[in-house]
Amino acid sequence: MTSVGKAFLRAPQTLLISKRFRGKVNIQKPRKPHFEKQLFLDISKPFYKPPSYTIREIDLCNYNKKFAKKEIDNPFERILARECLEWFNTSKMVVFLHLNSISMEDKTPVFAALKKNDMHLRTYGKKIVSMATTGTRYEAVNHLFTSHQNIIFGQPDRANKMFKILKKTPQLVVMAGIIEDRLLSKNELVEFSKLPNIDVARSQLCSVLQSAGSCLVNQLNQNQQILVSHLDKHVEIQQSQNCEKDETKSES
């Protein structure tokens, strides 16, 4: 009999058998869980609204309004919106950037370089920009925003320097900009940055105006100069003829 028992596999027996202390579990009045566990249970507790077919239509409308998202008046957002609008009003050049994935370590040198050249890099959300530009002449820029956006505020004469700084950081992509209250695309901004500064443009304009004036004066004086030259030539011919006559008379 013992040999037959050894022929079959025996079920393994555990060395340790767990047993709850103080008897059975109280299912009717369970003990309250720990604070962290209770907090996790409350957060993860699902919420199911009653089926729509069990609610009247008028109650269903009120029910949806009850759980609709409410707009909260945040004073800090109004302060940021006022600051954003002030930047728009005081800056003659506003450039909108698309921000790809970039670390703060790579973004800080760009911020410092722009600051050194009298340009300011700011980050505003869609709601802040909407609050700042709604009802103003800048309302059209709301279509460029989907979430947080980076904006450069500065002066138009710094456009060429701005593109040189952003060339080292491909994560910051120029989308559009405002120059002298005019919305420009990226290609138009690049063409604008290649233009000379205002002093060079003024000197070129002065030279063009001066050349036009001098050309007009030359054209007005051209006929007089031709007449004077012809008269001088005629006087020379007359003098030469008189000299020849005097020489012939003296010889005779």
Per-residue pLDDT of 85-119, as tens digits, reads: 999 998 889 999 988 888 888 888 888 999 998 89
| Domains with residue ranges and CATH for the chain | 92-124+144-193 (3.30.70.1730)
Residue 50: DSSP 8-state: P
Q: How far is CA 162 from CA 123, 202, 246, in A?
A: 17, 23, 84
The residue behind tokens 């006087």 is 235
In 3D, which of 160, 171, 178, 194 has the Cα closest to residue 110? 171
With contact defined as beta carbons under 8 Å apart, do 176 and 101 qualify? Answer: no
Q: How far is CA 78 from CA 4, 106, 139, in A?
A: 88, 30, 17
- Is the model's pTM score more than 0.85? no
Q: Name the pLDDT band for 223 (thresholds 50, 70, 90).
A: confident
Look at residue 13 in the predicted model and tell me its pLDDT. Answer: 65
pLDDT at 218 over 80: no
Measure the CA dihedral 90/96/102/103, to 10°.
Answer: 10
pLDDT at 69 over 70: no
Q: What DSSP assignment string belongs to 6-36?
A: HHSPPPP--S-----TTSS--SSSPPPPPHH
Q: How far is CA 185 from CA 6, 159, 170, in A?
A: 89, 13, 18
pLDDT at 67 over 60: no
Contacts of 78 (CB under 8 A, 6+ apart): 131
